[in-house]
Amino acid sequence: MPRIARTFIKTGLAYFLCSLLLALGYEFDTFRFPGMIPLFWHLLMVGWITQIIFGVSMWMFPGRTREEGLIAQKWAWSTYILLNIGLMLRVIAEPMIGYSTLRIWDVLIIISALTQVAAAVTYTIELWPRIQSKKKRRQNRKKKRQSSKNNPH
């Protein structure tokens, strides 16, 4: 399993636990804070389920690069970074909007929203060309083999 898939899955597991701890906290008045319910749903559905789908698909779908690294897997790592920055900013800023009128929380919420949608775009850029039929996959492999024969270095 490539490092990007492992990172997505492990981060997803951490969010899974956090979301359920948040749901448990909601049962006690002392732990409640504004925006807790939408946060719980987003940690569960984006932090856990979406992240697991992203991680497993990047591992299982055909046509992945065997080369590891930020440059070789730029769209996959961009997705991971953008999605998690977006989620973390939401976790920080969404409750604060209920407590404070400072402009910074509005700005953080906007950045959070934009980074999450940017993650959806980079994920689509990564995965779309990998949705291939067997025939297309064979053609691509053949092309790759031919080009490596022609340019051995």
Partner 1 sequence: MPTTSRWMIRCSLLYLLVGFTIGTIMLISKAYPAYSQVWMLLPVHIEMLIFGFIIQFTMGTAYWILPRFLEGEPRGNTAWSKVMVGALNAGILINAWSYLNIFPQWGTTVGRSLEIIAVILFIHLHWRRAVSYR
Give the total of residues touching partner 1 (CB under 8 A): 31
State the minimum distance, in angstroms, from the CB of residue 65 to partner 1. 18
What's the longest Cα–Cα distance across the chain?
69
Q: What is the 3-state secondary structure of the chain?
A: CCHHHHHHHHHHHHHHHHHHHHHHHHCCHHHCCCCHHHHHHHHHHHHHHHHHHHHHHHHHCCCCCCCCCCCCCHHHHHHHHHHHHHHHHHHHHHHHHHHCCCHHHHHHHHHHHHHHHHHHHHHHHHHHHHCCCHHHHHHHHHHHHHHHHHCCC
The window from 10-18, 24-32, 131-139, 141-149 that contacts partner 1 (CB under 8 A) reads 131-139
Q: Phi/psi of residue 132, each to 5°? A: -125, 150
Applying the rule CB under 8 A, the residues between 55 and 84 that interact with partner 1 are 57, 60, 62
State the minimum distance, in angstroms, from the CB of residue 137 to partner 1. 8
Instruction: Decide whether 57 or 78 has the Cβ nearer to partner 1.
Output: 57
Q: Does 110 bind partner 1 (CB under 8 A)?
A: yes
State the minimum distance, in angstroms, from the CB of residue 150 to partner 1. 28
Instruction: Decide whether 24 or 102 has the Cβ nearer to partner 1.
Output: 102
State the minimum distance, in angstroms, from the CB of residue 58 to partner 1. 13
Residues that bind partner 1 (CB under 8 A): 45, 49-50, 53, 57, 60, 62, 90, 94, 97, 105-107, 109-110, 112-114, 116-117, 119-121, 123-124, 127-128, 131-134
